[in-house]
Amino acid sequence: MTKEQPPATFYVNAALFDCDGTLVNSTGAISEFWRNFAETRPHFDAEEVIRTSHGCRTFDVIKKWSPEDAIEEQVTQWEGDIPDSYGHHARAIPGAVELVKQFDGYSKETHDGEQKWAIVTSGTLPLATKWLKLLTIEKPDTFITAEKVTKGKPHPQGYLNARENLGYGANHAKVVVFEDAPAGIQAGKDAGALVVGICSTYNPEKVRDAGADIVVKDLTGVRIESYNKETQEFKIVVDSYYYSNI
């Protein structure tokens, strides 16, 4: 359980969310996909892939472990079918839908009324779109999926592109990334963001050691307290957490 301690507070101009493991707990669904994939490929170690590849693009994983299957159109189709075939294993991360909808609601009250949040996922557009539908989250204007980058996480390209799209690409602008996987945490840090690490997939120590600035069980204890139009900053309060260096 998280420690009893004073709430942590920080200020940001915008928020960037990963999807799998951050908004939706899709580990069970993805794991079943990999196990099914391995049934006809004796060389493919599904359990090792499950253990080591969370947060990476499916195409990159298949290219590494089963290169003969690394055909983009086919991989996109396989991935897009995951929610249909294995979606009963998926669940919303507690507090995730509420927090995203808070950012969306507050965005309408900002200085320009534009969205101040985005999704940056290693999943393909068909996969991520279906997860959002399951979560009842409207697709954001800035929606960076696997097809929109040439370098997947842990490379920061996706998060850097999202910052630019939202108008907060400058180093002095403050952006928060919500992530669960070491690859995504590294990408967020390398994009110059503060990172909230979520323990949906890994234990608190691993999430902290990956570089997260604050480590939480889920998103139920994270909330927007206010928005300042003059500074263009959200005041974010984290009521419960494992570790924090902010």
CB 159 within 8 A of CB 16: yes
Tokens of 152: 């997947």
Return the closest-CA partner of residue 236 out of 193, 221, 218, 244.
Answer: 221
**What does the alpha-carbon distance between residue 225 and residue 234 come to, in Å, rounded to a whole number?**
8
**What does the alpha-carbon distance between residue 17 and residue 41 come to, in Å, rounded to a whole number?**
34
**What does the alpha-carbon distance between residue 75 and residue 69 come to, in Å, rounded to a whole number?**
8
Query: Quick check: is 18 catalytic?
Result: yes
Q: Where are the beta strands (DSSP E) in the chain?
A: 8-12, 14-17, 24-25, 91-92, 117-120, 143-144, 175-179, 194-198, 214-216, 222-228, 233-238, 243-244
**What does the alpha-carbon distance between residue 3 and residue 214 come to, in Å, rounded to a whole number?**
13
Query: Quick check: is 20 catalytic?
Result: yes
Active site residues: 18, 20
